[in-house]
Every structure is written in C-alpha cells, then in structure tokens.
C-alpha cells in the first residue's frame, strides 16, 4: 500500500450476493470485507466460479448486494457512476464508429454539459495519446488488432477521468506477447494517472507484476476472501528484473500455493 494514503477509499462491508436460479437460491459471495486505498492497484484472483467478476460488478454498481454495503469515497455505491470506469475482456467498442468516436461518446456523456466541442475533442485526443493510439483515431475497430482494441477500451475508460478503474480480465483474450506489452503499458499509465485500479485476473504473474495487493478468493459457492497478500515490490517495476527477484518469486509461490494446494479441489474435479 502506498504511504500517506487513506486505506479506506473503497470499502466493502460484510457483502453477500445471492441469485435466484431455477434450482433455487445460489449464494455467490458471503462475508466479503475489503478496504482499498486511493491509488492502490488490487487484483482479484481465484478459480472460475469464485465470484471475482461478481465482486467487480458490485463495485461498479452494475448489481446491488443482497446484504452488506459498498462505499467509494465515503458514499454508498448505488449504481454505475463516471467516477468508476469499467474495462471488460471484450472491448465492447461500437464497430461502425471510429476509435476516436468510440472514445468521444464517453467524453461527451461525462463532460458534454459543461465543455464545448473543442474541449471534448482535446480530451478524446489526450486519452488516445495516453495509450499510444493518436495515429489510429480514424480507424474502425475492424481495422485494428485485438491489442489495439483493448487500448481503445482503456482510453475510453480513462477519458472519463475516473477515480477508480475496474478491469475484468482485460488482457485475457490476447496472445502472450501482446498481453505482456499491454501489462507494461498499464504499469506506465497507472504511474502517470495515479488511478485506483481493481482488476480481475486468472494470471498469477500478471497479479504479482501489477498489484500492490492481491485478493485471493476461496472456491464458490459462498466464496469469500481467503487471503490478502500485500505485494511490497518497488515501483517502477520491470518484468525482466523481477524474473530473478526472490521477493517476486516468493509472492508468486504464495499465490500458487493458495490456488493449487489450499483451493485445488476444483482443478482435481475437472
């Protein structure tokens, strides 16, 4: 955790989430308590079905908890808001619009009531520049690579100047080299913007490389937080330098031990 920052920018208080299904009531999450500091990068990791995305959707305000409370900056989360931007695994870009227009839509929605068109264009261009896509603004999603589409999705989220960036396996569908490049770019972007980030991932190395704290969830149903792992590696971080860093290797081992030894029965049953 970064020094001098409040440890309770996002607060999750005894949250439970149940769903009604044809087979009856299903408890996805139970007894979840978590505090996230302003400027902190937090990863949620666990096996499929452990409620990672459910928890992210609760923070986003896309769903409401069955019981418990979620707060952001001391205000209860009661629905989506521009202070919390979401990046999904599927970039969700509108295919008939250019990359610039996809980002401009978000900028206009948040700032259109108080800024003129030139200011909105400048915000859009700045967001595309931040992710290295100033040159591709007039291309449509079908004309660019998967990695570039994800960068447009990140630009769209950042263009709203959110206090919190919520990411649901944003690089999960990409090849290994593209994934590594975007992880490195995300490290740089977060360092420059000071964003608070909550990211869902299945990737142990991604979690350790990016995070200040790793939240490890137990297997569902009725999943909860099994362990919190602070990642006290200095920033800026280099994946090449960390590859042989004993601290990095120990953090990696701790996550693998949790997932595949203490929570390993899901894999054995598969």
Lowest mean pLDDT among 96-100, 132-136, 200-204, 265-269: 265-269
pLDDT band at residue 100 under the 50/70/90 scheme: very high
Q: Where are the alpha helices (DSSP H) in the chain?
A: 52-60, 99-111, 117-130, 146-159, 176-193, 204-210, 239-242, 246-257, 265-269
With a cut of 50, say whether residue 212 has pLDDT above it: yes
Give CA angle at 191 (185, 196), nearest 5°.
105
Report percent pLDDT > 70 for the chain: 95
With a cut of 60, say whether residue 185 has pLDDT above it: yes
Q: Can you give the pLDDT at residue 197?
A: 97
Domains and CATH numbers, the chain: 1-78+197-270 (3.40.50.300)
Give the side-chain half-sphere CA count within 13 A for 255.
27
Tracing tokens 């995305």 back to the chain, one arrives at 53
Q: Can you give the pLDDT at residue 218?
A: 96
pLDDT digits (tens, 9 = 90+) for 32-81: 999 999 999 999 999 988 999 999 999 999 999 999 999 999 999 999 99
pLDDT band at residue 269 under the 50/70/90 scheme: very low
Q: Can you give the pLDDT at residue 262?
A: 84
**DSSP 8-state secondary structure symbol assigned to residue 223:** B
pLDDT band at residue 6 under the 50/70/90 scheme: low
φ, ψ of residue 209 to 5 degrees: the values are -60, -40
**What whole-number distance in Å separates Cα of residue 240 and Cα of residue 205?**
12
Q: What is the rounded average pLDDT of the residues 233-239?
A: 93
Q: Can you give the pLDDT at residue 232?
A: 96
pTM for the structure as a whole: 0.92
């Amino acid at each position: 955790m970064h020094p001098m920052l409040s440890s309770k920018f996002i607060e999750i208080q005894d949250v439970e989430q149940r769903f009604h299904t044809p087979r009856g009531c299903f408890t996805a999450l139970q007894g979840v308590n978590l505090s996230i500091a302003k400027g902190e990068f937090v990863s949620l990791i666990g096996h499929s079905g452990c409620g990672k995305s459910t928890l992210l959707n609760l923070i986003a305000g896309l769903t409401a908890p069955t019981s418990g409370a979620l707060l952001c900056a001391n205000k209860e989360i009661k629905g989506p808001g521009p202070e919390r931007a979401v990046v999904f695994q599927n970039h969700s870009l509108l295919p008939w619009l250019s990359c610039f227009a996809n980002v401009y839509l978000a900028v206009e929605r948040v700032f259109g009531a108080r800024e003129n068109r030139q200011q909105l264009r400048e915000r859009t261009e700045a967001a595309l520049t931040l992710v290295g896509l100033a040159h591709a603004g007039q291309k449509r999603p079908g004309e660019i690579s998967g990695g570039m589409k994800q960068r447009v999705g990140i630009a769209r989220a950042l263009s709203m100047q959110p206090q919190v960036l919520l990411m649901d396996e944003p690089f999960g569908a990409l090849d290994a080299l593209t994934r590594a490049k975007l992880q490195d770019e995300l490290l740089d972007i977060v360092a420059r913007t000071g964003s608070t980030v909550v990211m869902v991932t299945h990737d142990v190395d991604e979690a350790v490389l990016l995070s200040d704290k790793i939240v490890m969830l137990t297997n569902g149903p009725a999943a909860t937080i099994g362990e919190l792992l602070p990642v006290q590696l200095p920033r800026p971080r280099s994946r090449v330098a960390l590859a042989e860093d004993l601290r990095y290797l120990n953090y990696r081992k701790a996550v693998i031990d949790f997932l595949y030894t203490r929570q390993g029965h899901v894999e054995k049953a598969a």
